[in-house]
Amino acid sequence: MDAEVIVVGAGPTGLMLAGELALAGVRVRVVERRDSPQRHSRALTLHPRSVEVLDQRGLADAFLVEGKPVPGWHFAGLPTRLDFAALDSRHGYTLFLAQARTERLLTEWVRDLGVPISRGSVVTGVSQDHGGVTVAVGDTELTAKYVVGCDGGRSVVRRAARIEFPGTDETLTGMLGDFAVVDASTLSRAESGGVLAVPLGDGTTRFVVVDPQRMRESSSTPVTLHEFRTSLLRSCGTDFGVAEPRWLSRFGNATRLAMRYRAGRVLLAGDAAHIHFPAAGQGLNAGLQDAVNLGWKLAAAVHGWAPDGLLDTYHDERHPVGAAVTANTEVQTLLLELTLVGQYERPATALRALLDDLLGIDVVNRRIAGAVSALDTRYGTSAEPLIGARMPDIALSSHASVYELLHGGSFLLLTMSGVGPATGEVAGWADRVVLGTASSGSHPALAGVTEVLVRPDGHVAWLSRDDRPVVERTNALMAWAGRQTERTDGRGQI
């Protein structure tokens, strides 16, 4: 076998997944169509949960050095900002960082972990049988136990696996342009014209415009400099002196969600599984979080310790998130479109004012900020609110924090009672579980909690309020971390 897992696509999702798999000891190979890394950046944002996820792997500092934190974010371009700073996270901001730089930093991580990236390799087909997958790359065939399509919205892997991709075609497009020359003294006029203008940190400025007179143009139609300038002038009364375009592109609101994220040994993640208008900048973020949800589960399947059904929880947990993201982008796009269509302009403006008013109510703002930041993503429906939610990054008695103990990609069994498991009780999972101790007073959500099992992706798998939950804990470990590894020396290993 050429690898245990083949990841198709070295975009942000494929790179994150490859890193997660390598960290878990899986032999992984990335196959990428492009000869060299992408120079242009579609995405510019890393939202709070994505920064947390990077922090869980010890990567956040490298991203923070290059990015710029922005405390408030928008929903549908409404003037009242989403207050990420009010959320329960050390990373309550959006990190402005161009996608090309995110991909470069992830590539460095993946290379350090020894993952081969085959560039200039176009995947043309995938087949599978009970023992593995065969991936056609030009004239050659690669074999592996599993393949993951992280190959974007037009995913070849998705088509080869015959996974349906229902949704709606594009009805509206916007334009983006990155310019080396702008008249900085005019930039304050962008917002009033509904135009986004942001410096990308590489000497260019990104403009994004949705012009009612050009918004029915197909995204496959190339953008000209003249068209872009004319649209800026129409929207803002100035063309901002834009010149020397580095990239002009058109993007649309086609919205689709894969029917299944898994078909046997073929899985999908990122844009291969969900596409939508880039409203509130969520696509790349959702892809990173797909990858972190999938990585440890796929590693468990490869290593043979996955409990029954674990790999299917990837679809069960991430498909609803994909559905929620596509739905909220459709709401945002509809609001934008209504405002731009003459006959609805007045009621649409009134609707926006009403929604903006509602966003001013703390609990409403908190709810939408929790969704867009992805901090409120919760898996399952346990009556215990913390189960399925992300574990807060509390300080531990060892002076480390929860996220530091997750750097290696293991489960974390956290004891708050001061008693903790006896060595022999957890020794069979020592290759998958690390131990930590904290005080139950370290976070309000932990009041009365004696033990917590945190998954490698940072979500809470199980908790107890019992002082000695020996049987409960063993059951939880078996349900999530699988059967115990045989001990050869008959002694505990943790």
Give me the residues that bind ligand FAD (CB under 6 A), please: 8-14, 31-34, 42-45, 99, 122-123, 150-152, 156, 176, 251, 270-271, 278, 281-285, 287
Nearer to ligand FAD, 174 or 392 (CB): 174
State the minimum distance, in angstroms, from the CB of residue 219 to ligand FAD.
Answer: 9
Instruction: Give the side-chain half-sphere CA count within 13 A for 445.
Output: 15
State the minimum distance, in angstroms, from the CB of residue 484 to ligand FAD.
Answer: 36
Q: Among candidates 119, 110, 163, which has minimal Cα distance to 274?
A: 163
State the minimum distance, in angstroms, from the CB of residue 231 to ligand FAD.
Answer: 15
Nearer to ligand FAD, 329 or 410 (CB): 329
DSSP 8-state secondary structure symbol assigned to residue 261: S
Nearer to ligand FAD, 333 or 410 (CB): 333
Nearer to ligand FAD, 7 or 477 (CB): 7
Nearer to ligand FAD, 282 or 293 (CB): 282
DSSP 8-state secondary structure symbol assigned to residue 317: H
Nearer to ligand FAD, 17 or 359 (CB): 17
- Using DSSP's 3-state secondary structure scheme, residue 397 falls into coil
**CA–CA distance, 143 with 136 (Å, rounded to integer):** 9
Identify whether the C-beta of residue 151 lies closer than 8 Å to the C-beta of residue 8. yes
Tokens representing 58 are 């010890």
State the minimum distance, in angstroms, from the CB of residue 28 to ligand FAD.
Answer: 15
Q: Among candidates 105, 4, 121, which has minimal Cα distance to 57?
A: 105
State the minimum distance, in angstroms, from the CB of residue 380 to ligand FAD.
Answer: 25
State the minimum distance, in angstroms, from the CB of residue 8 to ligand FAD.
Answer: 5
**CA–CA distance, 433 with 202 (Å, rounded to integer):** 42
Tokens representing 407 are 């750097």
**CA–CA distance, 98 with 11 (Å, rounded to integer):** 13
Tokens representing 148 are 């993951």
* C-beta neighbour count of 78 within 10 angstroms: 19
